[in-house]
């Protein structure tokens, strides 16, 4: 079992920044592929960024490339999503998730994930 708890969301102005955190408990974080996903009102949940379980390569949804950075600290069992240059269209509930096997860019495919956090709201508005 793996428990994930997101934090760090909130209200931020366009062009601002937030750092989301996902604290985990259970087996060492390095065992898993990790992903960040988001769901905006009226839209399906989509992959935002992930770290593959094969070689630790990071992947990003096109709209966040160059603005968001995923990272993890295995010693702290914590995953991060640094979000810069935020836009109103980034407004969504953000979820972290983990799975034991997601190779390459398949780590952006949400159906592969077993463990999910409850989400944290990010609102980008003036």
Residue 15 reports pLDDT greater than 80? yes
Condensed to tens digits (0 to 9), the pLDDT of residues 104-120 reads 889 999 999 999 999 99
Helix (H, G, I), strand (E, B) or coil at 54: coil
Between CA 102 and CA 94 the distance in angstroms is 19
Residue 63: per-residue pLDDT: 97
Task: Specify the DSSP class assigned to residue 106.
Answer: G
Q: Which residues contact 118 (CB under 8 A, 6 or more apart)?
A: 5, 6, 95
> Residue holding tokens 């989509």?
46
Condensed to tens digits (0 to 9), the pLDDT of residues 77-98 reads 999 999 999 999 999 999 999 9
Mean model confidence pLDDT for the chain: 94
pLDDT classification of 28: cutoffs 50, 70, 90 = confident
Q: Between these two residues, 102 and 122, which has the higher pLDDT value?
A: 122
DSSP β-bridge partners for residue 6 = 22
User: Please, are residues 38 and 94 in contact by the beta-carbon 8 Å criterion?
Assistant: yes
Tokens describing residue 103: 């190779």
Residue 74: per-residue pLDDT: 87
Residue 30: per-residue pLDDT: 80
């Amino acid at each position: 079992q793996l428990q994930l708890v997101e934090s760090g969301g909130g209200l931020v102005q366009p062009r601002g920044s937030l750092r989301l955190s996902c604290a985990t408990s259970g087996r060492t974080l390095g065992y898993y592929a990790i992903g960040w996903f988001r769901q905006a009102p009226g839209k399906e949940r989509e992959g935002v960024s992930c770290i593959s379980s094969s070689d630790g390569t990071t992947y990003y949804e096109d709209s966040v490339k160059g603005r968001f950075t995923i990272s993890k600290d295995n010693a702290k069992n914590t995953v991060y999503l640094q979000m810069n240059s935020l836009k109103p269209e980034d407004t969504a509930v953000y979820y972290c998730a983990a799975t034991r096997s997601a190779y390459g860019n398949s780590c952006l495919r949400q159906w592969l994930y077993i463990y999910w956090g409850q989400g944290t709201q990010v609102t980008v508005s003036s």
